[in-house]
Amino acid sequence: MVSLFPLTLTEGLVRRRGQVIMGPVSLTVEGRGLTVLMGPNGAGKSTLLKALHGIERLSAGRLRHGCPSDQSHAAQAFVFQTPVVLRRSVAANLAYPLKLHGVGRAERARLIEDWSARIRLSDRLDQPAARLSGGERQKLATARALIRSPQLLFLDEPTANLDGRSTREIEDLLRAARDGGTRIVMATHDFAQARRLADDAWFMMNGRIVETGPSPQFFDTPARSETRAFLRGDILE
């Protein structure tokens, strides 16, 4: 399969109702690892993730991939904070992306068995996904995003409303995916989670990237005073 990387956002800017809500931001995503995106509410994290995924219209700047754009979308996945589940069974939710990309019946069955076990929903495959709890839905959405082994996965606060156990299960899925070669970019407000998972971190404020750096250096000795204040829990204006 052709590589999506490098994925480059150049001077990306998003304006809505006359206001700049993100940018200009220039970033390159490539290689391996898990990047954590942090920053106060309204900083523009969700907007940036969507811009990088190619689903947020840019008012200025450019998004480029290492492969033709018709192939770039199939190579990536996005998990939203409020997971979107299809109004069908758990199994049908897992099958959906596989069918969409022409995975054969036997391989589909194998992958559904494997992934439903990993999210501990094997015995609920025939139940409507809409009946799952919030945490179970979030696990299902994460498994559905990972089931095709995307080159790149975005997640927007994937564990915001989950208990410790579900959070740990999702983190395990993400680590395994990262170790298997999926590049991950994830927004989170959970500092402990960020430290547990990050290979590197981006800090965003007022629509701009203020600082980027490898972990644990980013968390222990950030270069910018805004980053230090944010990580200390100070209110940033």
In this complex, which beta carbon is closest to Mg ion, that of residue 177 or of residue 187?
A: 187
Q: Is 43 in the site for ligand ATP (CB under 6 A)?
A: yes
Segment contacting ligand ATP (CB under 6 A): 23-31, 42-50, 98-106, 224-232?
A: 42-50
According to the binding rule CB under 6 A, does residue 12 interact with ligand ATP?
A: no
* 83 near ligand ATP, rule: CB under 6 A: no
Q: Of residues 19-38, which lie at the interface with ligand ATP (CB under 6 A)?
A: 21
Q: If binding is defined by CB under 6 A, does position 39 make contact with ligand ATP?
A: yes
Task: Select from ligand ATP, Mg ion, none the partner in contact with residue 193, using the beta carbon and a kind-dependent cut-off of 5 to 8 Å.
Answer: none
Q: Which residues bind Mg ion (CB under 5 A)?
A: 45-46
Q: What are phi and psi of 99, to 5 degrees?
A: -60, -45
Question: Between residues 45 and 65, which has the closer beta carbon with respect to Mg ion?
Answer: 45
Span near ligand ATP by CB under 6 A; candidates 41-49, 92-100, 142-150, 194-202: 41-49
